[in-house]
């Protein structure tokens, strides 16, 4: 059989937030390459015979550099395997799906990209924060905190971002001081509500609420584990009434693997 790569969004944390298509393709893969944000229960959904390869990249601790991961995907597809590349959240949101797909395209190999529920969308709403709200927020932006000001080559226009009603900052905990300072310097009000959602959608989810001005100090005391998302904007105040999620309610009920064994879901 000829090989193909599937770049699959695994969803933001709890295993059953993967899409139905993503799960079906995962179940028929010969090789699964996954990173550290992927729920362990999802790996159990791959066929017992599937080869599982951890290629995770934790902060400052790159298990395999991106080029090596890309080479690995290309090599397995060339060898005729169905490769599931499972990525946390959505594969194209700070997930290197673009680089991996480009390498496959240049090698003339077939691939499919399966969107996923990004933590940028899921973390806020699991904390009761709607990203848009009539009369309060008509736009939101998702930005990486890595490119916070102070870095020599920040490619991020923080002054422009300060004017967007709702901001979602990924990978921002390490640079929280610089991020909040830049938004304040650009004129965002100090009392703007802010929240950090740690390990969103899982049984470990924790939410820290503060303001743009007080968040860096609040975080120092709270000592929240990563991964975490920072949300800034008036919509954060709605979470006082909309905080619906009880982490203890996370449980995962998947169909047993053999209910799908032998079926082909790759209809393309």
Q: Which is nearer to ligand SAH, 59 or 163 (CB)?
A: 59
Q: Which is nearer to ligand SAH, 58 or 261 (CB)?
A: 58
Q: Tell me if 93 contacts ligand SAH by CB under 6 A.
A: yes
Q: Tell me if 208 contacts ligand SAH by CB under 6 A.
A: no
Which DSSP letter does residue 227 get?
A: S
- Tell me how far apart the alpha carbons of residues 40 and 7 are, in angstroms, rounded to a whole number: 18
- Tell me how far apart the alpha carbons of residues 186 and 207 are, in angstroms, rounded to a whole number: 26
Q: Tell me if 27 contacts ligand SAH by CB under 6 A.
A: no
Is residue 90 within 8 Å of 118, Cβ to Cβ? yes
In this chain, which stretch among 105-113, 130-138, 181-189, 192-200 interacts with ligand SAH, using CB under 6 A?
192-200
Q: Tell me if 3 contacts ligand SAH by CB under 6 A.
A: no
Q: Tell me if 94 contacts ligand SAH by CB under 6 A.
A: yes
Side-chain half-sphere CA neighbours of 96 within 13 A:
19
Is residue 126 within 8 Å of 246, Cβ to Cβ? no
Binding ligand SAH (rule: CB under 6 A), the pick from 18, 25, 29, 37 is 37
- Tell me how far apart the alpha carbons of residues 229 and 92 are, in angstroms, rounded to a whole number: 17
Question: Minimum CB separation from ligand SAH for residue 225, in Å?
Answer: 10
Q: Which is nearer to ligand SAH, 12 or 165 (CB)?
A: 12
Q: Tell me if 201 contacts ligand SAH by CB under 6 A.
A: yes
- Considering the candidates 57, 71, 90, 204, report the single residue annotated as catalytic: 57
Which DSSP letter does residue 171 get?
A: S
Q: Tell me if 12 contacts ligand SAH by CB under 6 A.
A: yes
- Considering the candidates 4, 30, 35, 90, report the single residue annotated as catalytic: 35
Q: Which helix (H) or strand (E) holds 241?
A: helix 239-242
Q: Does the annotation mark 35 as catalytic?
A: yes
107 Cβ contact partners less than 8 Å away, ≥ 6 residues apart: 74, 77, 78
Q: Does the annotation mark 16 as catalytic?
A: no
Q: Tell me if 143 contacts ligand SAH by CB under 6 A.
A: no
205 Cβ contact partners less than 8 Å away, ≥ 6 residues apart: 13, 126, 127, 197, 198, 199, 245, 247
Q: What is the contact surface with ligand SAH in residues (CB under 6 A)?
A: 12-13, 37, 87-90, 93-95, 118-120, 123, 170-171, 197, 199-201, 226-229
Residues forming the active site: 35, 57
């Amino acid at each position: 059989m000829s090989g193909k790569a599937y770049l699959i969004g695994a969803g933001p944390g709890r295993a059953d937030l993967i899409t139905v298509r993503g799960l079906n393709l995962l179940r028929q893969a010969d090789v699964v390459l996954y990173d550290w944000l992927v729920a362990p229960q999802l790996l159990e959904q791959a066929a017992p015979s599937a080869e599982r390869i951890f290629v995770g990249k934790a902060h400052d601790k790159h298990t395999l550099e991106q080029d090596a991961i890309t080479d690995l995907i290309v090599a397995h597809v060339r060898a005729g395997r169905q490769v599931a590349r499972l990525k946390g959240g959505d594969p194209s949101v700070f997930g290197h799906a673009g680089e991996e797909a480009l390498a496959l395209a240049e090698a003339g190999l077939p691939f499919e990209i399966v969107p996923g529920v990004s933590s940028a969308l899921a973390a806020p709403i699991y904390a009761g924060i709607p990203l848009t709200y009539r009369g309060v927020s008509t736009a939101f932006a998702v930005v990486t905190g890595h490119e916070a000001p102070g870095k020599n080559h920040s490619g991020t226009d923080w002054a422009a971002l300060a004017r967007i009603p709702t901001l979602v900052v990924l990978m921002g905990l390490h640079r929280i001081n610089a991020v909040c300072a830049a938004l304040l310097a650009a004129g965002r009000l100090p009392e703007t509500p802010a929240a950090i959602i740690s390990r969103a959608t899982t049984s470990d989810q924790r939410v820290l609420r503060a303001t743009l001005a007080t968040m860096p100090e609040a975080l120092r005391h709270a000592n929240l584990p990563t991964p975490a998302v920072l949300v800034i904007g008036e919509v954060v105040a709605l979470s006082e009434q909309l905080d619906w999620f009880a982490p203890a309610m996370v449980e995962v009920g998947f169909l047993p693997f053999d209910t799908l064994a032998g079926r082909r879901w790759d209809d393309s």
